[in-house]
A and B are shown apart, each in its own frame.
Chain A
Amino acid sequence: MRYAIAVYESEAGMEARKDPEYVAAYAAYLKALAEAGVLLGGAGLVSASTATTLRMKDGQRLVQDGPYADTKEELGGFLLIDVPDLDRALEWAARCPSAATGVIEVRATLPPVA
């Protein structure tokens, strides 16, 4: 079963990206995921302030600066993992270094479109 792990970083979490220990903890976390054979992919994102949003309205392209949702926590990255069930997915989510400062959202993914 595939789960997406969305990492919402607090301000403190975004600030911690400059801390070598935090970066090392992330490296260790990603390595543990990979060694366990559950990691399918993912990426960290640069600051939400650099985001660009786009939508089509009445055939017109609307392009705006900034993230879609302007929340206190921002989407800092995501992972795609393959584990047997939600319990296991939550176990990995709890190990994410950002769990201590931000919020981790775990969601099942839709089956692949044929």
Chain B
Amino acid sequence: MHPAEAAARECYGRLLSMLAVRTGDLAGAEDALAEAFVAAVESWPRDGTPHNPEGWLWTAARRRLIDAGRRSKTSQENGPLLELAESVDAEMECTTFPDQRLRLLFVCAHPTIDENVRTPLMLQVVLGLDAARIATCLRVAPKTMGQRLWRAKTKIREARIPFDVDAADLPERVFAVLEAIYAAYGSGWEDVTGDTPAARGLTEEAIWLARLIVGLLPDDPEAKGLLATMLYSKSREPSRRTLGGAYVPLSVQDTARWDRACLAEAEATLSNAARLGRIGPFQLEAAIQSAHVHARLTGRDDPQAIAVLYDGLVQLAPTLGAQVAHAVARSRVDGAEQGLTLLEAIEPAESRRTYQPYWSARAHLLEQLSRPSDACSAYERAIGLSEDPEVRRFLADRKRALAPAR
């Protein structure tokens, strides 16, 4: 990321959270901040960049927010605005702003906010991403995305969703925030066969958010677990495709192409999390990745250890993706028959029907059970449910190798 872009991103979420936390009006805060940025683009080249750019933007945005409040003439909104006007001047004396972004993240993942808008909301209000870009990456119609974001922000204002969290609700709310950040990482969690270019579009943003929350919640092991999980995944990115673009599964990836610095950071982050002594699904997910990585690097595979980690994961967070991966991990210890039994027990059965990883895992297990014709039709289903042409090609090759006659 360009340093200026990084600085803008950093500054955007900090300023927006300070404005929104005081007024409870996310959309109004966004408008005011956008106007302040426009004013900066006009005046900074002319008058020179101010000594304290963030302070300049803060003052400009705050002034606009107060003006907008006066214009709207709704007296009920003037309370928080007046408070805003008074409270902040003291803060302006300091050069550092209090970081309110955690409260912004909590609002985005509030239980009354629809799950399908939590991730887009975070990407927009904390990072300043525009709706069209978010829509493309999450494969939603841009108009639909715009409407969802608008509705969520209206709800935050009108239902007066609090920016504070009770201590009792904290673990649950943190989990919701982490889940939403992980969703931005794309299909990494669920897609056992690879990543799509569209999903890769948000991986960097997801890691940025994970780093942010690790910084904001230094004593939360799960935040670290989430960051470690994504870093493990990222470290293997260079080896997931051949130079020609063909898909390469983990078991045959060229480990020399792994990003060692990223991998080392993942390992360090995971052990820091473990030191806090409270296990959770994201740490388990990271531990599974760590075990796979070690198996490849040392040549010593430990399927039993991996299966046990998956046992824990499906206990704590039985997502569809985790259940499918659990069945495959178990098959390596208890045999393909047992793996298939676990796979077929996944509930609800309805959700399996269009879930690509289910079908590719099923094909793989049927192949091991020497049921080529069943494996063949499972591969075909997996191909039909794939979005990535390279993944389709990989599965078609597997299918062809299975039944040369067909």
A contact set with B: CB distance below 8 Å: 21, 24-25, 27-33, 35-36, 86-87, 90-91, 94-95, 97, 99-100
Q: Which residues of B contact A97 (CB under 8 A)?
A: 389, 392
Q: Given A25-B396, A90-B141, A91-B139, does the pair A32, B389 have CB atoms closer than 8 Å? A: no
Q: Interface majority SS on A: helix, strand, loop or mixed?
A: helix
Kindly list 10 other residue pairs between chains A and B, CB separation below 8 angstroms, not including A28-B381, A29-B383: A21-B393, A28-B383, A31-B380, A31-B381, A31-B384, A36-B353, A36-B354, A86-B144, A95-B384, A99-B387
B contact set with A: CB distance below 8 Å: 116, 139-141, 144, 353-354, 380-381, 383-387, 389, 392-393, 396
Q: Given A32-B381, A95-B385, A99-B387, does the pair A21, B396 have CB atoms closer than 8 Å? A: yes
Q: Are B144 and A94 in contact (CB under 8 A)?
A: no
Nearest B-chain residue to A96, judged by Cβ: B387
Q: Which residues of A contact B116 (CB under 8 A)?
A: 87
| Among candidates A24, A86, A91, A100, residue contacting B396 with C-beta atoms closer than 8 Å | A24
Q: Are B396 and A30 in contact (CB under 8 A)?
A: no
Q: Which residues of A contact B396 (CB under 8 A)?
A: 21, 24-25
Interchain CA distance A87-B140 in the complex, whole Å = 6
Q: Are B384 and A87 in contact (CB under 8 A)?
A: no
| Among candidates B144, B353, B384, residue contacting A30 with C-beta atoms closer than 8 Å | B384
Interchain CA distance A87-B139 in the complex, whole Å = 8
Q: Given A21-B396, A90-B140, does the pair A28, B389 have CB atoms closer than 8 Å? A: no
Q: Which residues of B contact A28 (CB under 8 A)?
A: 380-381, 383-384, 392
| Among candidates A35, A91, A99, residue contacting B381 with C-beta atoms closer than 8 Å | A35
Interchain CA distance A27-B381 in the complex, whole Å = 10
Q: Are A86 and B389 in contact (CB under 8 A)?
A: no
Q: Which residues of B contact A91 (CB under 8 A)?
A: 139
Q: Which residues of A contact B380 (CB under 8 A)?
A: 27-28, 31
Nearest A-chain residue to B390, judged by Cβ: A100
Q: Which residues of B contact A32 (CB under 8 A)?
A: 354, 381, 384-385
* Chain A CB within 10 Å, residue with most, of B144, B383, B396: B383
Interchain CA distance A40-B353 in the complex, whole Å = 17
Q: Are A25 and B383 in contact (CB under 8 A)?
A: yes
Nearest A-chain residue to B396, judged by Cβ: A21
Nearest A-chain residue to B395, judged by Cβ: A28
Q: Which residues of B contact A99 (CB under 8 A)?
A: 387
Interchain CA distance A100-B139 in the complex, whole Å = 14
Nearest A-chain residue to B354, judged by Cβ: A36
Nearest B-chain residue to A101, judged by Cβ: B389
Q: Given A32-B354, A36-B354, does the pair A87, B144 have CB atoms closer than 8 Å? A: yes
Q: Which residues of A contact B141 (CB under 8 A)?
A: 86-87, 90
Cβ contacts A to B, 5 pairs, < 8 Å? A25-B389, A28-B383, A32-B385, A87-B116, A90-B140
Q: Are A100 and B381 in contact (CB under 8 A)?
A: no
Interchain CA distance A31-B354 in the complex, whole Å = 11
* Chain A CB within 10 Å, residue with most, of B116, B140, B384, B387: B384
Q: Which residues of A contact B354 (CB under 8 A)?
A: 32, 36
Interchain CA distance A24-B396 in the complex, whole Å = 9
* Chain A CB within 10 Å, residue with most, of B141, B385, B396: B385
* Chain A CB within 10 Å, residue with most, of B141, B392, B393: B392
| Among candidates B139, B383, B392, B393, residue contacting A90 with C-beta atoms closer than 8 Å | B139
Nearest B-chain residue to A93, judged by Cβ: B139
Taking the nearest CB of chain B, how far is it from the CB of A93, in angstroms?
Answer: 9
Interchain CA distance A30-B387 in the complex, whole Å = 13
Nearest A-chain residue to B388, judged by Cβ: A100
Q: Which residues of A contact B140 (CB under 8 A)?
A: 86-87, 90
Q: Which residues of A contact B386 (CB under 8 A)?
A: 95
Interchain CA distance A97-B139 in the complex, whole Å = 16
* Chain B CB within 10 Å, residue with most, of A28, A35, A97, A100: A28
Interchain CA distance A79-B393 in the complex, whole Å = 23
Nearest B-chain residue to A99, judged by Cβ: B387
| Among candidates A33, A90, A94, residue contacting B384 with C-beta atoms closer than 8 Å | A33
Taking the nearest CB of chain A, how far is it from the CB of B85, in angstroms?
Answer: 42
Q: Are B385 and A100 in contact (CB under 8 A)?
A: no
Q: Which residues of B contact A30 (CB under 8 A)?
A: 384
Taking the nearest CB of chain A, how far is it from the CB of B203, in angstroms?
Answer: 18
Q: Are A94 and B387 in contact (CB under 8 A)?
A: yes
Nearest B-chain residue to A29, judged by Cβ: B384
Q: Which residues of B contact A35 (CB under 8 A)?
A: 353, 381
Interchain CA distance A85-B384 in the complex, whole Å = 20
